[in-house]
Amino acid sequence: MILTTFAEVDLSDPFFDSLKAAYKEFPVWFASKASEPVYVTFKEDGQLRGFLYLKVEHGIIDDVDPPLPAADRMKVGTLKIVAHGTKLGERYVKKIFDAAIKAGVDGVYVTVFEEHAGLIRLFKRYGFTQYAKKTSPNGTELVFIRDFSVLTGKIRRDYPFIHQNGHKKYLLAIYPEWHTKLLPDSILNNESKDIVEDLSHTNTIHKVYICSMNVGGLKRGDILVMYRCSDGKGAAYFRSVVTSICVVEEVRSRKDFRDKGDFLNYARPHSVFSEDELEAWWDSGKRMHVIRMTYNAAFEKRTTRGQLIDTVGLSSTRRYDFFELSQTQFDHILKLGKINESLVVD
């Protein structure tokens, strides 16, 4: 996914045919937005497979029935995705939330024709509810809203917000070769953008992390501070960093899967490992823990191992693989990482 402008996007691409058919004014509207930003994703042949236009609106929205009360909202102006099994829709939903949180708005709304059932399911999955209808010469659209002031306590419906009360916090290590493929918004400045491929595990909000180390005690709702191990090009004190926050949805062990096929079906869409690597995990017969988690936020500033030791007070002698953080340590890491304060709620 890249950020560009309308002027740099080819309106003659067949990708836009359905939008032109649904909205007669679409070509004129598109031309009027020439200098405005838009997110796009391309196929290998250069044709579009994703398009997202976002706009902040203030006050009452009165072209829908019933009107939306006064607030600052992010409007999903245009969204179209051709996912082809890559879960690209989740990647775009994450981008919508990231942009909305950064803009400091009160919520998000989107209008969708009823026949786009897949898109409606996607929005409902992440807490959007139908509030109104919008009637125009193009027909009647359903209006879905996500009010950030309304939280349910559910991990997925409240995403990307993180509920911390009653949940433990842990540091969890991940090797550099897997890190950015699994957590693409946490890419380091010195990493190539080319490694963020358009694959299921890259696009998903939900991630699967597989390990043999003991993660006993980890429960649904617990919070993970992801720690990217050193790449070996220098001392871990300077090159190992914490990059992002995830929330545990489920933890399984080998005994929780009926057989290899059950394991592969569970892990394949959300794991960075290839089919052969997943099979090798299973066939090894060794202890295996599978953590399914949501990818909630990337730190704006990456805190190094040295800072974790010298400033946060973590041990300089322990192995940095998996261990519990105190509330004070967790709060300090959030502050150093400059994560948006509104994301972590009680």
Which residue segment(s) compose the domain that 225 sits in?
162-345
Rounded to the nearest 10 degrees, the angle between the axes of helix 88-103 and helix 117-125 is: 50
Residues 140 and 176 in one domain: no
Domain assignment present for 288: yes
**pLDDT tens-digit map of 194-223:** 323 333 445 679 999 999 999 988 999 999
Residues 185 and 105 in one domain: no
Q: Domain containing 45 — which CATH number?
A: 3.40.630.30
Of 123, 147, 171, which residue constitutes the final position of a domain? 147
Residues 127 and 205 in one domain: no
Domain assignment present for 155: no
Distance CA 47, CA 24 (A): 22
- Could you tell me the CA-to-CA distances from 295 to 161, 182, 201 in Å, in that order? 11, 9, 11
pLDDT at 231 (0 to 100): 77
pLDDT at 93 (0 to 100): 93
pLDDT at 85 (0 to 100): 63
pLDDT at 199 (0 to 100): 35
Dihedral angle computed from the Cα positions of residues 16, 39, 199 and 255, in that order, rounded to the nearest 10 degrees: -120
pLDDT at 203 (0 to 100): 60
Residues 128 and 272 in one domain: no
Global pTM value = 0.89
Residues 303 and 225 in one domain: yes
Residues 134 and 231 in one domain: no
Residues 31 and 134 in one domain: yes
Taking the chain (346 residues) in runs of 10, the rounded mean pLDDT of each run is: 92 94 94 94 84 96 96 95 78 92 96 94 96 95 97 96 97 82 58 36 78 92 93 83 94 96 93 91 94 92 94 94 96 94 93
Number of domains in the chain: 2
pLDDT at 330 (0 to 100): 97
